[in-house]
Amino acid sequence: MTYHFDFGWLIDSLPVLLKGIRITVQLILIGAVFGVALGIACAWVRALGPKWLKPVVATYVELIRNTPFLIQLFFIFFGLPSLGITMSELTAANLAMVVNLGAYSCEIIRAGIQATPRGQFEAGASLAMTPFQAFWYVVLVPALQRIWPALSSQIVIVMLGSAVVSQIAAEDLTFAANFIQSRNFRAFETYIVSTLIYLALAILLRQLLAGLGWMLFPRKASR
């Protein structure tokens, strides 16, 4: 093999890479916050919500979990304009990530809620909590604590999946890598560098979520 690796392009391309990293981070931050919020709302509907809404949410969850993210993205970005709904690439990418994570986190949070004994909910009601208060303090928070590791991995998976948004020209890290390799013709080196950046981002995000879990759910001393 007479191939010589060349990373000389790295310095010139740094601003492009940094911008890509910024967009990817921005996408996952917005996606995670709104996706988990949507997941909580859907989990509430499936646990306690109005009866007519339950099949709607169940269909949404099954549809999203059984189709590729790429197709969801294409449907939102290319398909929805036929209905008169147009949006920028970044908005479409964000929307797709929120919709995707919403379905997965709904399923994860629901599993956590199901593990909560029914009696706790009734105990909450007997303390004169409103149904919402009982759901929030008695059911949801312990459920979130229980499923926090699973939810964290799902958020990391969605972050890695976001590489695909480059396909609708949202200028994330993969888009930056594609752009750079089309200039320097060093495809392999470029993708190695961006893969390592993704790896670092994934490790960082995992640590961050673990720290957040520590802050949100401090271990009770009495146990």
Partner 1 sequence: MTEFSFWDILRNLLLAARWTVVLSLVSFIGGGIVGAALLFLRIGGRHWLRLLSRGYIQLFQGTPLLMQLFLAFFGLGLFGVDVPAWLAACVALVLWTAAFLAEIWRGCVESIAKGQWEASASLGMGYLQQMRYVILPQALKVAVPPTVGFSVQVVKGTALTSIIGFVELSKAGSIVTNATFQPFTVYGLVALIYFALCWPLSKSSQLLERKLNVAHRNH
Pick between residue 109 and residue 140 the one whose CB is nearest to partner 1. 109
13 near 195, Cβ under 8 Å? no
Select from 33, 6, 27 the least CA-distant residue to 176.
27
Which residues are within 8 A (CB) of 156 and not within 5 positions of it... i.e. 6 or more apart? 202, 205, 206, 209
Interaction between residue 71 and partner 1 (CB under 8 A): yes
From 37-45, 125-133, 157-165, 209-217, give the range in contact with partner 1 by CB under 8 A: 157-165
101 near 37, Cβ under 8 Å? no
User: In the bound complex, what is the minimum distance in angstroms from residue 67's beta carbon to partner 1?
Assistant: 5
Pick between residue 78 and residue 214 the one whose CB is nearest to partner 1. 78
Interaction between residue 80 and partner 1 (CB under 8 A): yes
Q: Show the binding pattern over residues 110-149: x = contacts partner 1 (CB under 8 A), - = does not.
A: ----------------------------------------
Q: Residue 128: helix, strand or coil by DSSP?
A: coil
Select from 213, 172, 223, 157 the least CA-distant residue to 20.
172
Out of 34, 60, 74, 179, which residue is the one contacting partner 1 (CB under 8 A)? 74
Interaction between residue 79 and partner 1 (CB under 8 A): yes
User: In the bound complex, what is the minimum distance in angstroms from residue 53's beta carbon to partner 1?
Assistant: 21
Interaction between residue 188 and partner 1 (CB under 8 A): yes
C-alpha separations of 166 from 26, 60, 163, 213 in Å: 14, 25, 6, 31
- Find where tokens 């919020």 sit: 37
35 near 158, Cβ under 8 Å? yes
Per the structure block, which two tokens stand in for 90? 């970044």
Interaction between residue 164 and partner 1 (CB under 8 A): yes
Q: What is the contact surface with partner 1 in residues (CB under 8 A)?
A: 1, 3, 62-63, 65-72, 74-75, 78-83, 156, 160-164, 167, 174, 177, 187-188, 191-192, 194-195, 198-199, 202-203
